[in-house]
Amino acid sequence: MKIDLPATTLKTEKRGDVKRLRREGKIPAVLYGHKEKTKKIYVEQKDFKKVLDAMKDETVIVNLKIGSKGFPCVIKSLQQNPLEETLLHIDFQHIHKKEKIRATVPIHALGEAPGVKKGGILDIHLHEVQVRCLPDALPSHIDVDISNLELGEAIHIKDIQAPNVEFELTADTTVVSILVPRALEVEVKAPAEEEVVAAEEGEEEGEEEAKGEKEGKEKKEATEEKKGVKEEKKGKEAPRGEK
pLDDT tens digits for 72-84? 999 999 998 888 7
pLDDT at 129: 95
**pLDDT value at position 194?**
53
Assign a CATH topology to domain 102-180.
RNA Polymerase Alpha Subunit; Chain A, domain 2 (2.170.120)
Model confidence pLDDT, tens digit, residues 12-68: 767 788 888 899 999 999 999 988 899 999 999 999 999 999 998 899 999 999 988
pLDDT for the residue 90: 96
Q: Are strands 61-66 and 2-9 parallel, antiparallel or unpaired?
A: parallel
One fold for both 2-95 and 102-180?
Answer: no
- Kindly state which CATH superfamily the domain 2-95 is placed in: Ribosomal Protein L25; Chain P (2.40.240.10)
Between 241 and 70, the higher pLDDT residue: 70
The larger pLDDT score, comparing residue 239 to residue 68, is at 68
**Domain regions of the chain by residue span:** 2-95, 102-180, 182-230
- Cα four-point dihedral sign 222, 223, 224, 225: positive
* pLDDT of residue 232 exceeding 80: no
Does position 104 have pLDDT exceeding 70, yes or no?
yes
Q: Average pLDDT of 129-152?
A: 94
CA atoms of 75 and 201, how far apart (whole Å): 67
The pLDDT, as a whole number, for residue 112 is 94
pLDDT of 182 reads 79
Read off the pLDDT of each residue in 118-142 and give the average, rounded to a whole number. Answer: 94
Q: Could you tell me which residue, 227 or 118, shows the higher pLDDT?
A: 118
Eight-state DSSP code of residue 213 = H
Query: Residue range 112-118: average pLDDT?
Result: 94
pLDDT in tens, 157-208: 999 999 999 999 999 999 999 999 877 666 655 555 555 555 555 555 555 6
**Whole-angstrom Cα distance, residue 174 to residue 138?**
21
Which segment, 35-39, 98-102, 175-179, 231-235, is predicted with the most confidence on average? 175-179
Q: What is the pLDDT of residues 201-228, one digit of tens each?
A: 555 555 566 556 666 666 666 565 555 5
Beta bridge partners, 5, equal: 64
147 three-class SS: coil
Please report, rounded to a whole number, the percentage of residues in the chain having pLDDT higher than 70.
Answer: 75
Q: Do 59 and 133 form a contact (C-beta atoms < 8 A)?
A: no
Find out whether 129 and 104 touch, Cβ atoms under 8 Å: yes
Residue of 40, 39, 92 whose CA lies nearest to 64: 92
Residue 3: the pLDDT is 93
**Residue 238 confidence (pLDDT) above 70:** no
Q: Is the pLDDT of residue 243 over 50?
A: no
Given pLDDT bands bounded at 50, 70 and 90, which one contains residue 5? very high
The one-letter amino acid code at 70 reads G
For residue 197, what is the enclosing H or E element?
Answer: helix 182-236
Mapped onto helix, strand or coil, the DSSP state of residue 203 is helix
